[in-house]
Amino acid sequence: MENTEIADLFGFDRKKRKDFPVICGIDEAGRGSLAGDVYAAAVIFDGDTVIEGINDSKKISGKKREKLYDEIISKAKAYCVATASVEEIESMNILNAAMLAMKRAYEGLGMSADMILVDGDKSPDIAGRIETVVKGDGLSASIAAASILAKVSRDRYMCEMAEKYPQYRFEKHKGYGTKLHKELIKEHGACPIHRKSFLKKTEKKNG
């Protein structure tokens, strides 16, 4: 029997498809991190696609996210993962950089949607009909799928960065402001992938 939460996530999209046959879900990952690029993903499913266990990426274990990642990319009609760099985050601020990553993800799909569902309350500069959905990664299957692709892709990237800068243990905290990460920044200083503006804000708070 289908889990009601799963049915609700796919049911949310199904209702939208009555008026807008092709729906795209978009979400980002890494907006609150102290280090690394911000990632975004865009996903379009066929109307009859259902993936068991799909949900907000934050509610799913890393192991389950990895498994779902493979299933999403194999069953999606179209998907794209895109980024905005640390340099872009620093020059235009994190909100604008996250919006840019979302725009790149949508434009990389190779097809357009009748309705674009974006997680949160801000929308990227994309040509088309957009609906922002607060906590959308827990409501829409398409947004939840995008959140999983963005999160898994970013986690893999931070593990690569951990090999490049082993002293910061990026594989453990993925760049977020954990106690361990802050202690390691104090010990070693910042590295090229740290967001300097974020570190200044952290220092002010601690000061």
How are beta strands 115-119 and 130-133 bridged, if at all? parallel
Q: State residue 133's pLDDT score.
A: 97
> Does residue 150 fall inside a structural domain?
yes
**CATH code for the domain of 56:** 3.30.420.10
- Whole-model pTM: value is 0.93
Does position 204 have pLDDT exceeding 80, yes or no? Answer: no
Domain count, the chain: 1
Copy the structure tokens of residue 125: 């500069």
Average pLDDT over residues 42-50: 95
pLDDT of residue 2: 44
Q: Examine the pLDDT at 1 and tell me if it is beyond 50.
A: no
**pLDDT reported for residue 55:** 85
Q: Of the given ranges (4-18, 153-167, 183-197), which has the lowest mean pLDDT? A: 4-18
Alpha-carbon torsion, ordered 94, 22, 72, 178, to 10 deg: 20
User: Token pair for residue 157?
Assistant: 């990237």
pLDDT tops 80 at residue 19:
yes
Provide the pLDDT for residue 6.
Answer: 53
Helices (H), 108-140: none
Residue 207 has pLDDT above 50, yes or no: no
Strand, helix or coil for residue 45: coil
Residue 40 is assigned to a structural domain of this protein: yes
CB 133 within 8 A of CB 119: yes
Q: Which two tokens stand for residue 122?
A: 């801000």
201 lies in a domain? no
Instruction: Considering only residues 200 and 72, tell me which one the structure prediction assigns the higher pLDDT.
Output: 72
203 in any annotated domain: no
Q: Quick one: pLDDT at residue 144?
A: 96
Please say whether the beta carbons of 77 and 45 come within 8 A. Answer: yes
The verdict on residue 176 lying in a domain is: no
For the four alpha carbons of 85, 86, 91 and 93, in that order, the dihedral sign comes to positive
Minimal CA–CA distance to 3: which of 63, 52, 75, 71? 52
Structural domain containing residue 24 = 4-159
The reply to whether 30 falls in a domain is yes
> Is 25 inside any structural domain?
yes
Q: Which pLDDT does position 203 carry in this prediction?
A: 64
Separation between Cα atoms, residue 2 and residue 6, nearest integer Å: 7
- Rounded to an integer, the average pLDDT of 120-126 is 96
Mean pLDDT of the chain: 93
The reply to whether 79 falls in a domain is yes
Range 40-48 average pLDDT:
96
User: Whole-angstrom Cα distance, residue 66 to residue 99?
Assistant: 25
